[in-house]
Amino acid sequence: MRPYDLLFRHVATRMPAELTHCVGVSALRAAAPLLPDRPRPGTPVEAMGLRFANPLGVAAGYDKDAEGVRALARLGFGAVEVGTVTARPQPGNPRPRLFRLPADRALVNRMGFNNAGADVVAARLAAVRSGPGAGTVLGVNIGKSKAATDAVADYRYSARVLGPYADYVVVNVSSPNTPGLRELQGVDALEPLLAAVREEVGATPLLVKITADLDDDGVDAVADLAVAQGLDGIVATNTTIAREGLASPADVVAAAGSGGLSGAPLAGPARAVLARLRARVGDALTLVSVGGIDTGAEARARLDAGATLVQAYTGFVYGGPAWPRRVLASM
């Protein structure tokens, strides 16, 4: 058993999941100057006018406030997507709000877009851009402030403030933990929202992130809208509210409660959405596959199924700091 696996099993699992996560991000931030700036492994990918050192990126949700960008890049990731960031700082939902399901290599979260807000994150990204690691492909994932009454204006502000520091911007309308957010995946609501963000970010590549819980018609509708509006890509998928087929005992799942499920159980639904998207859009869009990627074989399977890039969060949490290079070596 690897040292990280022992540490995770015997130490991390005895601590609240969110505390472990915060400690991990803080450790990454502190370790960044000490980590060797080695060439990142894997095969480079050209997409959206950008050059990725390899196709494996960090999904949004891990580094919400852009605190660990340099360290994550030095661990081997080809891109880091920070966020989700909202226009206003917000504390998120009451704790506890992050739970492990180790038997499924999964997490349940109802974080509620806790983050420092667009202005603070923009200042951190400016520092990243001017210092070591400035060549990292940097995505910024933006979402709706819980208190916002005008979603379009709220997203527009985040796009205006954060866009200058992003290599690409992702509009997140798919988290289950912000009331009313998923309603924005409907074409009538999504169209003006994407148009407003596009006005703010200009030529910066723009993507939308969708949930695994959309039905086939919903996936097709978002795909058609993305092509019609000239988006650069789709990130698929966010977490799921489904709980079918889990290995964890029912009482453990019930204790975790509501929220988005991520990790290995999401692999099947994420693959299905990827296949439908690629069949629908052909070569018109970059597709970023995320959800249930925890091995090199799974990452390779997504690329073979039509993904341009892949991302991970939960697989990285369970796999530890050596996980990115280990996955890239086995793809």
**CATH code (residue 297):** 3.20.20.70
Express each pLDDT in 120-159 by its tens digit: 999 999 999 887 655 789 999 999 999 999 999 999 999 9
Is the pLDDT assigned to residue 31 strictly greater than 90? no
- Three-class secondary structure of residue 53 per DSSP: coil
pLDDT value for 11: 64
Express each pLDDT in 80-127 by its tens digit: 999 999 999 999 999 999 999 999 999 999 999 999 999 999 999 999
Is the CB of residue 106 less than 8 Å from the CB of residue 264? Answer: yes
pLDDT value for 124: 96
Catalytic residue among 145, 158, 174, 175: 175
Question: Which positions make up the binding site for FMN?
Answer: 60-64, 84, 141, 172, 209, 237, 263, 292, 313-314
pLDDT value for 297: 97
Neighbours of 168 (CB within 10 A): 26
Is the pLDDT assigned to residue 324 strictly greater than 60? yes
β-strands 233-236, 286-290 pairing:
parallel
**Burial letters for 267-294: b for 16+ Cβ neighbours within 10 Å, e otherwise?**
bebbbbbbebbbebbeeebbbbbbbbbb
pLDDT value for 180: 62
| Token couple for 123 | 């200042």
| Calpha distance 72→35 (Å, rounded) | 10
**Burial letters for 80-109: b for 16+ Cβ neighbours within 10 Å, e otherwise?**
bbbbbbbbbbbebbeeebbbbbeebbbbbb
Structural domains in the chain (count): 1
| Calpha distance 6→10 (Å, rounded) | 6
Has 175 been annotated as catalytic? yes
Is the pLDDT assigned to residue 10 strictly greater than 60? no
| Calpha distance 314→14 (Å, rounded) | 18
| Calpha distance 201→203 (Å, rounded) | 6
Neighbours of 132 (CB within 10 A): 13
Q: How confident is the model at residue 176 (pLDDT cuts 50, 70, 90)?
A: confident
Is the pLDDT assigned to residue 331 strictly greater than 70? yes
pLDDT value for 210: 92
- Three-class secondary structure of residue 308 per DSSP: coil
pTM for the full predicted model: 0.94
Domain holding 87, by residue range, is: 3-35+44-329
Question: Which positions make up the binding site?
Answer: 60-64, 84, 109-113, 141, 172, 177, 209, 237-239, 263, 292, 313-314
- Three-class secondary structure of residue 123 per DSSP: helix
pLDDT value for 190: 86
Summarize the confidence of residues 195-221 as an average pLDDT: 94
| Calpha distance 222→236 (Å, rounded) | 11
Express each pLDDT in 241-273 by its tens digit: 999 999 999 999 999 999 999 999 999 999 999
pLDDT value for 179: 64
What is the average pLDDT value for the chain, to the nearest integer?
92
Q: How confident is the model at residue 188 (pLDDT cuts 50, 70, 90)?
A: confident
Which of 255, 309, 295, 240 shows the shortest CA–CA distance to 56?
A: 309
113 phi-psi bin (left φ>0, alpha ψ -120 to 50, beta other): left
Q: How confident is the model at residue 38 (pLDDT cuts 50, 70, 90)?
A: confident
What residues contact residue 9 under an 8 Å CB cut-off, 6+ apart?
Answer: none
| Token couple for 304 | 């073979």
Output the CA–CA distances (angstroms, integers) from residue 28 to 24, 69, 112, 316, in the order listed.
6, 9, 23, 13
